[in-house]
Amino acid sequence: MTTRMITPPPLEEGDTVGIVAPARSIKPEEIEAAIRLIESWGLWVVVGKNLYSTYHQLAGKDEDRASDLQQMMDDENIKAILCARGGYGTVRTMQHLDFHYFARNPKWIVGFSDITVLHNYINQQLHIKTLHAQMPLNFPREGMDNRSTGLLKNVLFGRPLSYSWDPSRALELRDTLSGTLTGGNLSVICSLSATPYDLHTKGKILFLEDVDEYLYHIDRMMMNLKLSGKLETISALLLGGMTSMNDNSVPFGKEAYQIVYDIVDDLNIPVVPDCPAGHREPNLPLIMGSHLKINQKRGKVTLEFAD
């Protein structure tokens, strides 16, 4: 039986959105342009009390970062929450968070990379959709929407989401692929194995992306997913950016995508490459927890997100 997923309410002009930093630290000048752009959408912006705090690499101590997110989740005047950046640290806030009010009064939570922790928990435990999308740190500096932020704005304001691209590898899609979308950053997903935030993949479309990893790490993590049974029962594998990969002095011998193809070769699952999402530009929105249809027409792959 498929669980009904809850779609957070759309924004309206005049609404207030919050910005928090649940992971790595950020400086005011790094998101000034993003705040101006969000305000140009007709929204008010409130930043977390500890947004610009620092504690070594982190944006303040765990309790402080969690406090900002908790306050934004519990404030009925905050209609959506944007995570300022990723890095590392979101998982350290989870033990300090209470999602009971949020579960009854859902709102969009936006981010990617380290924010995969929140996507996994909110989608699976609360059955609420979230947005894997561009974060303020990566908004365009010139203060004008690009494709990534333009589509993010559309989703936040309740407009339907679909887009297409030309894959680098020929696909054999005879029928439309469909399933609930799950996943996110490969490194984060593997780090959550055997925790309360572990990923459930059965019957779902699994999205994966990563950045700045050694190629043998990609192989090791994909083998983890395979040996733990997370790949056997998915309906499709959707690959985003595998960006800025590293290699050793003795080469691993395969690029990131080829590593993935080889590991899943005997599983007979469709693999859809080059999804324009992740640590790349464009980084187009993915509605995590949404029912997703993937089809191919005249060589182009199209994603269509349903209610």
**Domains of the chain, residue spans:** 16-156, 162-306
Q: Please tell me the pTM assigned to this model.
A: 0.97
Output the CA angle 44-50-51, nearest 5 degrees: 55
CATH code of 16-156, in short, is: 3.40.50.10740
Q: What is the pLDDT of residue 2?
A: 65
Fold of 162-306: Glucose Oxidase; domain 1 (3.50.30)
Q: Which two tokens stand for residue 218?
A: 């990609």
Distance CA 57, CA 61 (A): 10
Q: What is the pLDDT of residue 109?
A: 98
Tokens 């399933």 identify what position? 179
Q: Tell me which residues of the chain have a pLDDT lower than 50.
A: none
Is it true that 16-156 and 162-306 share their CATH fold?
A: no
